[in-house]
Chain A
Amino acid sequence: MASRKGMEVSIAVSEAVKLANVDVISAYPITPQTHIVEHLSELVADGELTAAFVPVESEHSALSAAVGAAAVGARAYTATASQGLALMHEIMFIASGLRLPMVMTVVNRALSTPINIWNDLSDIMAERDTGWIQLFAINGQEAVDLTLQAFKLAEDPRVLLPVAVNLDGFVLSHVIEPVEIPDQEMVDRFLPPYKPGIRLDPDNPVSMGAFGSPEVFTEIKKQIDEALIGSQKVAAEVWKDFGAIFGRTYKPVESYKTKGAETLLVTMGSISETAMSAVDLMREKGQKVGLIHIRLWRPFPFKEFFQAVKEAKVLAVVDRALVPGGAGGPVGLEVKAALFDKPGRPYVAEFIAGLGGRDLTVEIFMEMVTKANRYAQTQKELRYEMIGVREK
């Protein structure tokens, strides 16, 4: 039987990686990912997980080694945050471009500068266009579940794309939550060993990473785009299988108290749970407020998103990364693009909040809802607003 106990979410994630029976772990330490890789190296050192633990000398090499391992048909895993993810940037495109499955946990942390070890989503947002499937966990259980699901999704022959599972640094990675760690037997039923299609095999030699001329580049990119878009359908199947075995269901966009809501908060990551508390308070006061949080960021679930928000009049989007000199934050941009051609679409108020680990309290969420409603009433033309900036 699966055991439910209080444990640090980082450790829970490592346990999930162990249950997934990965073959190669190549990782470089960076706060706040360190507990994940430390625990994994302990598991390997004690023989609890049979895997090659490669203590690489940089994150760029971490992802490069994961690519090499996946290329020979091994189940590869890595984890990083912030600067480390930025250092991997070049290889991110290559990993998805080569159609190699692998899973990476991103423990979201602000990108320098100033150097800041606390949580926001700027690190993963900078990797938005890399062709990776990107998922967001809002609590410890999700962190475990999404990790297991990520392998199955990545390795599906219709997908063959790397997957990033995001969890917020410190506020999620380092907290102790009640988590149900599944049985190995249940996991094995859900996640069979990786069966690679094309791999580096002396008995069947192929060349990976060829020099592609203008004649072929567009078609390869089209393939990746279609694969990424098509992976949503496979994700739905994976979630269905997961639900059948483990009893927990997942959707690309999750709704909370949206019935009859006129104003919706739109969030990603663990702040969603704080925002849900704010929604509860506002509901008690009789405000018609709800929340949706986006679990599947890439590919963006346009249909499900629209279904979830179409009854609302006002959206208060909470972005935890800034697109300076641009139209706002990445989520806001996506939301506006999703709604652009929809007649009668809700008013979108875009807020940038909680950068560099600045605390997002229930009061701040309530403030954002109030502002959003006010702006909607006056039809204020606002690209975005940064919350909580000290003006004096």
Chain B
Amino acid sequence: MSKVDALHPWKEAPLGCVIEEAGNSRKFKTGDWRSKIRPVTDQEKCIKCGMCWIFCPEMAYNLRADGFYDWISEYCKGCGICAKECPKEAIQMIAEEE
């Protein structure tokens, strides 16, 4: 699939403004939106329940083979739902370093 940039000449614009590259919003790193606060998981407390994963509006957690969840920095907006909902209070929202 060819990448389409919004600033293309009119002859190269896709017909009807259709977007042919499904899911290409992944190119947009919403992690930049964070105001320097990020969640951090204490794996000692984590029971691998998956609440952080299912309750994330940004899908910013990835299930690992060992059952823990990797936090995806590129997309996390820092809302804090995961920290609030973790049943074991294993996730804390901490100040991020530059």
B22 near A206: Cβ-Cβ < 8 Å: yes
Task: From the candidates A98, A208, A209, A219, name the one contacting B10 in the complex (CB within 8 A).
Answer: A219
Interface stretch (choices A81-89, A108-116, A210-218, A303-311): A210-218
**Binary per-residue interface labels of chain A (209-233) against chain B in the complex, 1 for a CB within 8 Å, 0 otherwise:** 1101101101110110010000000
Docked complex Cα distance between A226 and B15 (Å)? 12
Docked complex Cα distance between A213 and B20 (Å)? 17
Docked complex Cα distance between A209 and B8 (Å)? 18
**Binary per-residue interface labels of chain A (62-102) against chain B in the complex, 1 for a CB within 8 Å, 0 otherwise:** 00000000000000000000000000000000000111100
Known: A213-B6, A215-B6, A215-B7. A220 touches B17 (CB 8 A): yes
How many residues on chain B are close to A (CB under 8 Å)? 14
B1-37 interface (Cβ within 8 A of A):
6-11, 13, 15-20, 22
Known: A219-B13, A220-B13, A223-B13. A207 touches B6 (CB 8 A): no
Docked complex Cα distance between A98 and B13 (Å)? 12
Query: Which residues of A sit under 8 angstroms from B11, Cβ to Cβ?
Result: 223
Docked complex Cα distance between A210 and B20 (Å)? 11
B16 near A97: Cβ-Cβ < 8 Å: yes
Q: Quote the shortest CB–CB distance from B31 to chain A (angstroms).
A: 22
B22 near A205: Cβ-Cβ < 8 Å: yes
Known: A213-B6, A215-B7. A223 touches B15 (CB 8 A): yes
Chain B at the A interface: SS class:
loop
Docked complex Cα distance between A218 and B20 (Å)? 20
A207 near B15: Cβ-Cβ < 8 Å: no
Task: From the candidates B7, B8, B9, B20, name the one contacting A206 in the complex (CB within 8 A).
Answer: B20
B8 nearest in chain A by CB position: A219
A225 nearest in chain B by CB position: B10
Known: A219-B8, A223-B10. A97 touches B22 (CB 8 A): no
Please indicate which of the listed interface residues B7, B9, B19 has the most CB atoms of chain A within 10 Å of its own CB.
Answer: B19
Q: Quote the shortest CB–CB distance from A169 to chain B (angstroms).
A: 32
Query: Which residues of B sit under 8 angstroms from A160, Cβ to Cβ?
Result: 15-16
B16 near A212: Cβ-Cβ < 8 Å: no
Docked complex Cα distance between A207 and B18 (Å)? 6
Docked complex Cα distance between A198 and B16 (Å)? 10
Query: Which residues of B sit under 8 angstroms from A213, Cβ to Cβ?
Result: 6
Query: Which residues of B sit under 8 angstroms from A220, Cβ to Cβ?
Result: 10, 13, 16-17
Docked complex Cα distance between A208 and B19 (Å)? 7
B residues sitting closer than 8 Å to A (CB atoms) are 6-11, 13, 15-20, 22
Can you list 10 A-B pairs with a CB-CB distance of less than 8 A? Answer: A97-B16, A97-B17, A98-B17, A198-B15, A198-B18, A206-B19, A207-B22, A218-B10, A219-B10, A222-B10
